[in-house]
């Protein structure tokens, strides 16, 4: 294995689902850790993980896994991140860096700062590489390549730990942005959580109509609603953790939605074309 | 060229954009017409089309093209379909079948029925094979394969003409549904026009925020907003032609959207999970 400036000795991934298992694969493949260890809540997942070539060992408890590591990455669902941190805090070796992959940051990062023992460092992360597909079986060492990643230190977070976490995601091919947890939560409420809720509620609305209409669905409906297939329990927790920012994003959208309804009701086709053109010009920047 | 039951002698495509040019390519490739002729409004498009191997001739006026054909397919933007029909009606040979590819049907089909000369037959079509990419240069003889297509005769429409048009789309690999124009317009208002407007207004709403946020966009935002890149002028006309049904679809969505807002505002996470699960169960049927 080649030596690497950003390298860690022992990685412990807590929660070897899509993101956790992909991270183990990717870090091993790129020589970013010597050993990749894991813990998962379900025994079946632990057994499955232990059988993989990129897994150097599986532990029965998160604390045991964390104790073996100099980098701990918490990859459990958002509502379990802080409880998992509580479980492992006392077991961490001095100098250990802990990060997570949660879709919300404010609540997690502030609680984590209080939980970390002296000499250990928590740096929040949000690699935007999730999918409506979940689980170890969909994992890939290319999951992170070309995607965006947020790293969300607080002002008191150790700068070296922040730099090492940012470097890690960078080495995995991600475009890394360092930002305050509050700003992160505002951004993802708009560009991730709101689109998800719109896709879900569009499906929820269409479900009240003739479901045979689905037979006629074109690529448009397919694409606009793809993310509505995401796990309801997971997304409920994301909304719960980022509720205030999501409400603000929903209110901002609602103003534009009401204006669109008014424009269609009053048959103001010039105003409609203006809205469509404004939307297109925004979307064209994404391509 | 192999003989084919559903075959036409001379196809005239009026408007050789994405759909029109793809239709010429596909019908020639599958031996569904002997000759494929075209007319386009822009001289540049006519020249471009004339240079293609699958084009047997280009005419300077829609009437001349239509006069040469036993199948005319009107592929101009929706608001130009009825005016184009007016332009060609007197030129049509007895027995000619005319269809279109417009995204709305009620208004077009009823006006067309009045415009057709004795012995000629108009049968409305809506092949759901559009794209946010437009123009002859994106055309493909596989554009229609595996997609849904509506054929929308009136009660007085000649059954043989209807059958031949339905057969044509079927031979192009489409899943064909015969349905009344009114029912068609209700369905596409919900599964095509509403999703389009939501994608547009989401982009319109996000454009009022920091546009650098786009740098962090994940696959979710990318997919949910893809169709917002569609041509504003085209979509304005679709909304204009199907306004009543679209308003009803928007109102139905609005009820579910208001309920979602209420649920997030009141922190009713059980109700939220129910909405998300209902949306997921609908979306899962699309996969």
Give which of A267, A211, A197, A265 is closest to B190, Cα–Cα.
A211
Q: A181-228 pLDDT, tens per residue?
A: 999 999 999 999 999 999 999 999 999 999 899 989 888 899 999 999
> How far, in Å, CA of A28 to CA of A45, rounded?
19
Give the closest of A188, A201, A279 to B256, CB-based.
A201
Q: Does B272 touch chain A (CB under 8 A)?
A: yes
Q: Does A235 touch chain B (CB under 8 A)?
A: yes
Tell me which chain A residue has its CA closest to the CA of residue B187: A213
> How far, in Å, CA of A74 to CA of A165, rounded?
13
Q: According to the model, what pLDDT value does residue B6 have?
A: 56
Tell me which chain A residue has its CA closest to the CA of residue B243: A264
Subunit contact B211:A240, Cβ cutoff 8 A: no
Whether residue A54 is predicted with pLDDT greater than 60 in this model: the reply is yes
Q: According to the model, what pLDDT value does residue A3 have?
A: 47
Q: Does B267 touch chain A (CB under 8 A)?
A: yes
Q: Which of B138, B175, B216, B225 should one mutate to test binding to chain A, selecting the residue with the greatest count of A CBs within 10 A?
A: B216
pTM for the predicted model, two decimal places: 0.86
Query: What are the beta bridge partners of residue B122?
Result: B98
Q: According to the model, what pLDDT value does residue A130 have?
A: 75
- Look at residue B100 and give its three-state secondary structure: strand
Distance from CA of B277 to the nearest CA of A (A): 5
Q: A61-75 pLDDT, tens per residue?
A: 999 999 999 999 999
Mean pLDDT of A133-151: 92
- Residue B116: CB atoms within 10 A of its CB come to 17
> How far, in Å, CA of B13 to CA of B71, rounded?
8
Residue with tokens 């070296």: A160
Q: What are the structure tokens assigned to B265, written together?
A: 């505002």
| A130 contacts on B by Cβ (under 8 Å) | 218
Q: Does B277 touch chain A (CB under 8 A)?
A: yes
Q: ipTM, 2 decimals?
A: 0.87
Give the closest of A131, A235, A260 to B201, CB-based.
A260
* Beta-carbon contacts of residue A212 (< 8 Å; ≥ 6 apart): none
Q: What are the structure tokens assigned to A226, written together?
A: 């793809």
Residue with tokens 């009620």: B106
Distance from CA of A47 to the nearest CA of B (A): 29
With cut-offs at 50, 70 and 90, classify the pLDDT of residue A149.
very high
Give the closest of B175, B187, B223 to A223, CB-based.
B223
Q: A217-270 pLDDT, tens per residue?
A: 888 899 999 999 999 999 999 999 999 999 999 999 999 999 999 999 999 999
Q: According to the model, what pLDDT value does residue B133 have?
A: 77
Give which of B58, B30, B277, B284 is closest to B170, Cα–Cα.
B30
Domains of chain A with bracketed CATH: 8-179 (3.40.50.720), 184-284 (1.10.3660.10)
Distance from CA of B276 to the nearest CA of A (A): 5
Q: Which of A79, A101, A177, A220 should one mutate to test binding to chain B, selecting the residue with the greatest count of B CBs within 10 A?
A: A220
* Beta-carbon contacts of residue B51 (< 8 Å; ≥ 6 apart): none
Give which of A15, A69, A32, A13 is closest to A169, Cα–Cα.
A32
Tell me which chain A residue has its CA closest to the CA of residue B214: A286
> How far, in Å, CA of B99 to CA of B161, rounded?
10
Tell me which chain B residue has its CA closest to the CA of residue A258: B254
Interfacial A residues in 121-140 facing B (CB < 8 Å): 128-131
Largest CA distance in chain A: 67
Percent of chain B whose predicted confidence (pLDDT) is above 90: 91
Average per-residue pLDDT in chain A? 95
Subunit contact B282:A203, Cβ cutoff 8 A: yes
Averaged pLDDT, groups of 10, chain B, 287 residues long: 67 96 97 97 96 97 98 96 98 98 96 97 94 84 95 97 97 97 97 97 96 89 94 94 97 98 98 98 92
Q: What are the structure tokens assigned to A104, written together?
A: 């919300």
Whether residue A5 is predicted with pLDDT greater than 80 in this model: the reply is no
Helix pair angle (B232-241, A269-284), 10° resolution: 140
Q: Does A266 touch chain B (CB under 8 A)?
A: no
* Count of helices and strands (H, E) across chain A: 12, 8
Distance from CA of B285 to the nearest CA of A (A): 8
Give the closest of B175, B264, B283 to A225, CB-based.
B283
Contact of B242 with B193, CB cutoff 8 Å: yes
Task: Render the burial of B190-219: b for 16+ CB within 10 Å, e for the rest.
Answer: bbbbbbbbbbbbbbbbbbebeeeebebbbe
């Amino acid at each position: 294995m080649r030596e690497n400036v950003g390298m860690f000795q022992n990685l412990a991934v807590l929660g070897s689902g899509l993101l956790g298992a992909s991270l183990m694969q990717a870090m091993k493949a790129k020589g970013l850790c010597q050993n990749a260890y894991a813990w998962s809540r379900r025994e079946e997942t632990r057994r499955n993980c232990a059988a993989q070539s990129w897994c150097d060992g599986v532990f029965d408890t998160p604390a045991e896994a964390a104790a073996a590591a100099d980098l701990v990455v918490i990859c459990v669902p958002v509502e379990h991140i802080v409880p998992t941190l509580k479980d492992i805090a006392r077991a961490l070796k001095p100098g250990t860096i802990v990060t997570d992959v949660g879709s919300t940051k404010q609540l997690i990062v502030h609680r984590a700062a209080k939980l970390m023992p002296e000499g250990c460092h928590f740096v929040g992360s949000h690699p935007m590489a999730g999918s409506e597909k979940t689980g170890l079986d969909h994992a890939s060492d290319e999951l992170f390549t070309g995607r965006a990643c947020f790293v969300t230190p607080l002002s008191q977070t150790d700068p070296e730990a922040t730099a090492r976490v940012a470097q890690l995601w960078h080495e995995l091919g991600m475009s890394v942005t360092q930002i305050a947890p509050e700003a992160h939560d505002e951004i993802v409420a708009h560009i991730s959580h709101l689109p998800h809720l719109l896709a879900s509620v569009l499906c929820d609305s269409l479900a009240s109509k003739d479901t045979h209409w689905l037979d006629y669905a074109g690529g448009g409906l397919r694409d606009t609603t793809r993310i509505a297939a995401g796990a309801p329990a997971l997304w409920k927790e994301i909304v719960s953790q980022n509720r205030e920012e999501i409400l603000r994003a929903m209110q901002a959208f609602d103003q534009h939605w009401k204006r669109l309804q008014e424009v269609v009701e009053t048959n103001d086709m010039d105003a409609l074309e203006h809205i469509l053109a404004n939307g297109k010009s925004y979307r064209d920047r994404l391509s």
